Amino acid sequence: IAVLRASGPGTKMIGMDITPEMLAYGREKIARLGLQDRIDLRIGDAEHIDLPDNSVDGCCSAFT
């Protein structure tokens, strides 16, 4: 979220977690911050990312 806030207004992010509970927590936080239109949360894991090749500009991993 800090990176997103420091980026330009057109920047969008995708978040991923394997647990529905963490995604629910993330969605609540995103809604509180008013960032629903800039952050998309998906269920999944780092070994099976359902994104087309060359469709993102960067990646960050935490708590893995």
What whole-number distance in Å separates Cα of residue 45 and Cα of residue 8?
27
14 - beta bridge partners? Answer: 40
pTM: 0.80
Contact, 41 vs 15, CB < 8 A?
A: yes
Greater pLDDT, 42 or 8: 42
pLDDT tens readout for residues 13-38: 999 999 999 999 999 999 999 999 99
